[in-house]
Amino acid sequence: MSAVIETRSGAPAKARVPSRPLAGGDGARAVAFDADGEVSLDTFLSHVRGLARLLPDAAHAINLCEDRYRFLVAFCAVALRGQTTLLPPSRTRAAIDEVRALHPESYCLGDGDHCGCPHPSLAPLPHYVRMPDVLPRCEGERPLVDDDALVAIGFTSGSTGAPKPNAKTWRSFRTSTEQNLAALAGLWPGEAVVQAVATVPPQHMYGMEMSVLLPLLGNVAVHGARPFFPQDVADALADAKAPRLLVTTPVHLRALVEAGVALPPMAGIVTATAPLPQPLAAAAEARFGCEVREVFGSTETCIIARRRTAIQDAWTPLPGVRVTPQPDGTLVHATHLPQPVALADLVELVDNGRDADGRFLLRGRQGDLLEIAGKRASLGDLTRRLLAIPGVEDGVVFQLDADEVGVKRIAAMAVAPTLAEADILRALRCSIDPVFLPRRLRRVTTLPRNETGKLPRGALLRLLDGDGA
């Protein structure tokens, strides 16, 4: 709710909400780039104004653009029209339909002939608006947005699988972006313009923070593509000027290290969306000659902490962030959050005496903790032990739903081309208590990871039962 002030007549009047630029910096600075060159801030803003004039009257838009630059243009054009961008938990047709059901007045905006979900043969989404191949331009004043404008709603799946909305105002995005710039401080000279390549989709909150908001509000330019394979990443980084930044995930980082592909010199690598194993972080630093900085956050909180995983276990909160352990999770206090947010992650504060800086260790999630026959373990630790087996390239340990007598058994899947399932179980017996050995173990060619490297539970269960590719 907006603040009110008293007028001379005694009648309350709304206080004027500050308006802030959609993008900052010199008009000639690069916002985006690719193999064909750079796009200046002035050109970008002319595209934003031009597209905004073409958008329908509505309250919400779902941005499905594959091209990152077009996503940037569409996000800002939607905000300029006073509309809100909806960010579904994935770009599957089911997820999009579920979010649209919550916001029936919304439309979808994309840069392709179909909805952008994995099955283009499906019928086009209702109210789908396709962006022109040649973006329209319109000159004018630098666009402003009210601080309390609701510019995005990010959705995350809760324990029931129902999308949970998380509202983001322009003020909260601006504040969290200042914190993210602080999280990256020291990777490149402060006055330099870094050119970033991101492998994570912009629709994901991590992708939104690191590849959309940073170019808008910081000295950052972003590559328009979303490279997937190692050579694609190398090619995109070759398009960039130094200093270069790679924004990625542990899955992509492992692929880059194992592929042995040559990358141009980088100022740093940032990773998130899943725990980064310390050996992988150290191997990446040695292989690519730069620091790997892991960031921690969520759709609810945005990024709240960072660490150099190769040499650090503890997380350092970003400026203005404080975490408070709770019996069933963690309470996050931050200047960009209107109120504290509860997370399911369990943390342990690092006691530094008088110089305590709020650093903390992650101890998994309450739902990941196992207690069998009076013994305790965590699914995260069991997965780490599985991945430590020579020959296991990827893997996961998870708990099944309760059977007819209420028992929740442990299952595992592993990508291990040179090992048999018996070999994997034999190795696990050497490192974990027998009560925590997976009762079902399946060797697969690949795990059903989504765009950000996460493993949806439903996909895991289907693959375990032989009903997934």
Question: And the tokens for 243?
Answer: 């200093």
Residues of the chain whose pLDDT is less than 50? 1-13, 158-161, 353-354, 468-469
Tens digits of residue pLDDT in 43-69: 999 999 999 999 999 999 999 999 999
Alpha carbon distance 297, 307 (integer Å): 12
pLDDT at 162: 60
Q: What is the pLDDT of residue 9?
A: 43
Between CA 190 and CA 21 the distance in angstroms is: 22
pTM for the model: 0.84
Q: Set out the domains of the chain in order of their start, with CATH numbers.
A: 373-464 (3.30.300.30)
- CA 129/CA 61 separation, integer angstroms: 10
pLDDT tens digits for range 391-429: 999 999 988 887 776 678 899 999 999 999 999 999 999
Coil/strand/helix, residue 298: strand
Cis peptide before 124 (omega within 30 of 0): no
pLDDT of residue 123: 58
What pLDDT is recorded for position 365? 78
Contacts of 51 (CB under 8 A, 6+ apart): 73, 74, 77, 131, 135, 136
Is the distance from CB of 105 to CB of 94 less than 8 angstroms?
no
Report the chain's terminal Cα–Cα distance, integer Å: 49
